[in-house]
């Protein structure tokens, strides 16, 4: 995998509401960081675009970590390298909406209710997906609670993914806030593979191995 370039988005995005508050998702960033480490260990050059996490920047010399806060910043950082990357992995839990207005000063407590106006964020994976060349490979994540496979397949098509990693929330110990994960890989070619519950580092290896197998078939 030497000379292969990989873009990984990871972690949440924080969308500011005022100088001290934000809207964001739960996400430790562990899955994206584990994927970056696995790609780098296999010889790839990785750009890791990370939202706010408590994880240290990966120490591997072939991982270039760029820290961002918002979806707009994550999009700009990802777009800057997407054209030259062979593989895109969208592991970030991007906030779907952001406050329509960011208050310049802290919002003071006033009435009994507070209504916020939110506007849709850029869809990083879908927007870049429109620019994907045939030799590039795009991987997305889906975390669903209902009609899991149908929703994941819909995302595969809508965002021009070659592979979607469907996270199971049904099994205890899987998904966000855990160090283990149980995933099903759904591919554009129609293949579907379900793996056992295992540590996120091992899940990353399964995902990276599948990507490498598909890429070598491409070549
Ligand atoms: N994604 C992205 N930019 C966004 C939202 C999502 O790049 N603004 C990526 C995620 O990183 C993930 C995939 O798209 O790889 C699916 O994310 P998900 O939140 O499941 O999809 P949504 O299209 O936001 O749909 P939902 O209504 O289920 O949240
Ligand atoms: Ca979403």
Q: What pTM does this model have?
A: 0.95
For residue 189, the 8-state DSSP code is T
* Active-site residue set: 25
Best probe residue, ligand 1, of 13, 73, 78, 125 (max atoms within 8 Å of C-beta)? 125
Residue 123 C-alpha to ligand 1 middle, in angstroms?
Answer: 7
Q: What pLDDT, on the 0 to 100 scale, is given for residue 219?
A: 58
Best probe residue, ligand 1, of 94, 145, 150 (max atoms within 8 Å of C-beta)? 94
- C-beta separation of 129 from 162 below 8 A: no
For residue 69, the 8-state DSSP code is -
For residue range 166-213, list pLDDT tens digits in order. Answer: 987 776 666 666 788 899 999 999 999 999 999 989 999 999 999 999
Q: How far apart are CA 166 and CA 188, in angstroms?
A: 13
* Domain 5-217 classification at class level: alpha beta
Domain extent listing, the chain: 5-217
* Cβ-Cβ contacts under 8 Å for 88 (sequence gap 6 or more): 6, 7, 78, 82, 125, 128, 132, 136, 137, 138, 139
Residue 201 C-alpha to ligand 1 middle, in angstroms?
Answer: 22
- C-beta separation of 48 from 90 below 8 A: no
Average pLDDT of the chain, as a whole number: 94
For residue range 91-131, list pLDDT tens digits in order. Answer: 999 999 999 999 999 999 999 999 999 999 999 999 999 99
For residue range 16-32, list pLDDT tens digits in order. Answer: 999 999 999 999 999 99
């Amino acid at each position: 995998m030497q000379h292969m370039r990989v873009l990984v988005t990871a972690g949440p995005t924080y969308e500011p509401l005022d100088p001290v508050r934000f809207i964001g998702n739960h996400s430790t960033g562990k899955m994206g960081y584990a994927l970056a480490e696995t790609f780098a260990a296999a010889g790839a050059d990785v750009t890791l675009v990370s939202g706010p996490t408590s994880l240290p920047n990966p120490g591997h010399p072939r991982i270039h970590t760029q820290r961002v806060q918002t979806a707009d910043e994550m999009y700009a950082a990802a777009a800057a390298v997407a054209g030259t990357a062979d593989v895109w992995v969208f592991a970030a839990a991007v906030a779907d909406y952001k406050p329509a207005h960011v208050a310049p000063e802290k919002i003071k407590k006033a009435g009994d209710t507070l209504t916020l106006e939110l506007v849709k964020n850029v869809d990083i994976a879908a927007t870049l997906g429109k620019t994907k060349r045939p030799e590039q490979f795009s991987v997305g994540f889906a975390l669903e609670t209902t009609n899991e496979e149908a929703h994941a397949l819909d995302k595969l098509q809508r965002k021009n993914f070659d592979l979607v990693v469907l996270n199971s929330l049904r099994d205890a110990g899987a998904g966000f806030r855990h160090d283990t994960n149980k995933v099903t890989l759904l591919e554009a070619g129609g293949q579907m593979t379900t793996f056992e519950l295992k540590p996120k580092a091992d899940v990353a290896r399964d995902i990276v191995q599948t990507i490498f197998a598909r890429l070598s078939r491409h070549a």
